[in-house]
Amino acid sequence: MPPQPGPQTKLPWLVLLLALSLPLLACRLLVNPTPAPGATRPTGRVLFSDDFSDPYSGWNQVTAPGGESIYLDGAYRIFVNQPNVDIWSKPGKTFRDVRLEVDAYKVGGERDNRFGLICRAVDDDSFYTFIVSSDGYYGIGLIDGQEYQLLGMDALQPSDAIHLGSASNHIRADCVGDTLTLTVNGVQLAQVKDTRFLSGDVGLIAGTYATPGTDIRFDDFVVYQP
């Protein structure tokens, strides 16, 4: 396992959590997230969308001692209960150029976390990531095997555009040609170029640093044709 970074460095170490599917034991949790003001969805042809009201719409459902990814109360929950671990989930689609949108908010765990979108997932260990944190950091990166690499920066960067704490953030990821763009709450934060992955699945990701317990809800996931 790589060293555990502190919140000052914001180096997004990723460790794949190998979880076995188990019977789901979910309790009802009521949350009232603060909406992301000013975050309106762009127009365009919708290729795929999910408001997570149907628990059989195709996303992974996994529960294990280290965390879980399940449908819960009309949203999608990713809970990570180990340090320096990420859990991701995909609906089993294949796209090339896409614009992804999702609303996400923290309901548990430290602000020193990470969560967001993935695109062009060739397999379970190869894809691009677009992440923010509840303490106001962001970055674009990729997973290739067991290795994580940030693109265009040495560490996650701070931004006032990111809503802190348990407030909802509207996260947008554009994967078009060789250009990857991260926009949060209507503000473009990063744009990089990379050609390693050209097509693949889309999805959601959340993770921890030194402290376990990151609990993220995702809602209104949409894939647009760019």
- In this predicted model, what pLDDT tens digit does every residue of 47-76 receive, in sequence order? 999 999 999 999 999 999 899 999 999 999
Q: Is 225 helix (H, G, I), strand (E, B) or coil?
A: coil
- List, in order of start, the domains of the chain with CATH numbers: 59-224 (2.60.120.560)
How far apart are the C-alpha atoms of 120 and 99, rounded to whole Å? 11
Which of 18-22, 137-141, 196-200, 206-210 comes out lowest in average pLDDT?
18-22
Residue 126 buriedness (CB in 10 A; 0-12 / 13-18 / 19+): middle
In whole numbers, what is the pLDDT of the chain averaged over residues?
A: 85
Task: Give the closest residue to 206 by CA, choosing from 80, 18, 24, 62.
Answer: 80
User: 142 and 151 in contact (C-beta within 8 Å)?
Assistant: yes
User: 3-state class of 77 per DSSP?
Assistant: strand
Q: In which band, very low, low, confident or very high, does the pLDDT at 17 lie, cut at 50, 70 and 90?
A: very low
3-state secondary structure of 203: strand
119-167 pLDDT tens trace = 999 999 999 999 999 999 999 999 998 788 999 999 999 999 999 999 9
Looking at residue 147, what is its pLDDT?
84
Which pLDDT score, from 0 to 100, does residue 20 have? 26
Model pLDDT, residue 19: 31
According to DSSP, the residues that pair with 77 across neighbouring strands are 70, 217
112: pLDDT strictly greater than 60: yes
Average pLDDT over residues 16-40: 34
- At 23 the pLDDT is 28
